[in-house]
Amino acid sequence: MQSTGDPTQLDQVWAMVCRQLQQQIDPRDFRSWIVRLQVVSDQDGRVGLGAPNAFSRDWIRENLFDDICALWQQFDPEKRQLCLTVLCLNTETINARVEDPTGAPTGPQANAAPAIALGASFEKYRFDNFVVGPSNEVAWAMAKAAARGPQARFNPLFIHGSYGLGKTHLLRAIAHQARLHAPTRRVSYLTAEDFVQNFVSALRGSQSAEFKKKVRSLDLLLIDDIHFLAGKAATQEEFVHTLCSLIESGAQVVLSADRSPGEIASFDDRLRSHLNGGLVCRIAPAGFELRRDILSNRIAEMADEFDGLDVPNPVLDFLAAKVSTSPRELLGALNMILSGTIMLGRPITLDAAQDILSDIVRATRVKVSVADIQKGTASWFGLSKEDLLSRRKTRNIVRPRQIAMYLAKQLTSSSLPMIGQRFDGRDHTTVIHAVKTINRLIDDDPLFANEVEGLRRSLTKLHSHNE
C-alpha cells in the first residue's frame, strides 16, 4: 500500500477544519480535545487523526467526530475519509510514534521508570470487587496469579466468554494490581483495535522497529478483545513474533476474547497454537447464586449513596431469576427498580419490581427479530430502513444504528457476527463497539436511557400483541 498526498496539504486542510471548529464548538472542548489532535497518516484515501490517548480518542469519536468528518469533507479537495487512532503510551495504549530511543534502556531494569500511570478509571477494577462463583473462579484465580508475576506454565493466559461477563474487569484488575505490587513493572493494557491501529501507524511512519522494541520490552502486556485480529494476517504475524519474544524474555501476556482460540475464524494456525499452548480459561454465564451475590455486592457498594438501602430478599430472588443474560444487564435492571421506587420515595416491593421489569420479563418470552428491530428503530427516529443500514456516518443515523444493534443484542438470540451481517455485512467488532457505546450513554445520560427504554418497550409490546 502506498501513502498518497502531500503532508503539507493535509496540515493545511486540518488547519481550515480547526478554524471552523473553533467557531462551532465550546471553546473548552476545543482546547481540551481538538488542539491535541495530529494528522499522522494518509493511506489509500484514509487520513489518520492521532489522539494522545484512548480516552481522548473515544470521547472525540462519540462527541465531535461527525462534525470533524463533515468539515474535512468540505475542505479536502480529495474527499478522503478520516479515522481516529492513538499516539501515546498511557493506561490504555502503546505509543506508535516512539520518541528517539537513543540511550534508553531496552531490557528489564529494576530501577526503570513506570511504563504507565494508572488513573482513576483503573482503580475501580479490582479483584476484591469482582464477585466470584463457579462460572468464573478459575479465570479469577489465574488473573490474580498473573498480577503477582509471570506464570511460566500458564503463559499466555487467555480468558474468553460472552460479552458483559467480566473479562475487561479482570484484565484491568491485573494491570492495577500489578502496578501496586511492583511500581516499576512495565505494564500496558490496550485493546486489540489499539494494537492494530498503532502497528499500522508505525509502519506508515517508518517506525516499525521502534514499535517492536517498545512493545517487546514490556513486563506485562494485556490485550482485550484479541478476536479483533481475525482476518488481519500481517498484524497476526507481528503479534506472533511479539508473543514469542515476550514469553522468552520472561514477560507475562494476558489476552481476552469472546470465543476460544479454536472458535475464532481466520486466525493463523501458529497464533492459535501459541494461544492454546498457555492456559485457556472460560468465563461462563453466571448461575442463579452468583447473580444473587452480584446484586448483594452492588447494594452494599451503594450503601453510602442510599442511606439505609434495603432491598427485600424476594426482590433480589426475582431479579436473579428473571435477568440471566449478563451481570451488566442484571445491574441495569437493579438500577431500574431503584429509580422507579426509592428515587420517587416509594417502597421497594416485589409487586413494584415485577411491574417495573414487566417488559424485560416479557421480552424473554416475546420473539423479536433483528429485522423487526431495524424497522421499529428506523420508524422511531424518522428514518428509512435503508438509511439505518447504509454506510452514512452522520450523527442522526449513526446513533439510531448503534441503538438498533444494541437492542438486537438485548432482544434476540442472534450472535454478534449474525447481527453484524444483518446490518449490511458489518463486522462483529462494529456491533461490540455499538453495544459498549450505548451502554456507556445509558449510564451517563438519563434522558438517553429513557429514550432507549421507550423504544425497547414499544418493540416488545408490539410483538407481544401480535402473538
Q: What is the DSSP string of 146-200?
A: HHHS--GGG-SEEEE-STTSSHHHHHHHHHHHHHHH-TTS-EEEEEHHHHHHHHH
Q: Please give the pLDDT value at position 135.
A: 87
- The predicted pLDDT at position 114 comes to 35
Domains of the chain as residue ranges with CATH:
7-86 (3.30.300.180), 120-282 (3.40.50.300), 288-359 (1.10.8.60), 370-466 (1.10.1750.10)
pLDDT of 89 higher than 80: no
pLDDT at residue number 141: 93
pLDDT in tens, 133-188: 888 999 999 999 999 887 767 889 999 988 778 898 999 999 989 888 888 888 88
What is the number of alpha carbons within 13 Å of residue 333 lying toward its C-beta?
31
81-86 sheet: strands from edge to edge: 38-43, 46-51, 81-86
Give yes or no for residue 299 having a pLDDT over 90. Answer: no
Task: Answer with the residue of higher pLDDT: 4 or 225.
Answer: 225
Band the pLDDT of 328: cuts 50, 70, 90: confident
- Model confidence at 67: pLDDT above 50: yes
Tens digit of each residue's pLDDT (9 = 90 or more) over 27-41: 777 777 787 788 876
Contact 163, 432 (CB under 8 A): yes
Q: Which residue has the higher pLDDT, 99 or 193?
A: 193
Identify the pLDDT of residue 4: 46
Cα separation, 464 vs 467, in Å, equals: 5
Mean pLDDT, the chain, rounded, equals: 79
pLDDT of residue 453: 79
Give residue 96's pLDDT band: very low, low, confident or very high (50, 70, 90): very low
Residues with Cβ within 8 Å of 245's Cβ and at least 6 positions away in sequence, in order, are 216
Our measurement of the distance from residue 309's CA atom to the centroid of its chain's CA atoms, rounded to an integer in Å, reads 31
Query: Comparing C-alpha atoms, which of 16, 13, 20 is closest to residue 47?
Result: 13
Q: For residue 271, what is its C-alpha cell?
A: 497464533
For residues 303 and 180, is the Cβ–Cβ distance under 8 A? Answer: no
pLDDT-derived band at 94, boundaries 50, 70, 90: very low
Give 187's strand partners.
220
Question: Are 91 and 125 within 8 A, CB to CB?
Answer: no
- The per-residue pLDDT for 281 is 92
Whether the pLDDT of residue 425 is over 70: the answer is yes
Distance CA 156, CA 222 (A): 10
Task: Tell me if the bond preceding 183 is cis, omega within 30° of 0.
Answer: no
Q: Please, what sign has the CA dihedral across residues 199, 203, 205, 209?
A: positive
Which candidate, 179, 383, 141, places its Cα nearest to that of 279?
Answer: 141
97 — phi, psi (to 5°)? Answer: -100, 80
CA distance 363 to 361: 5
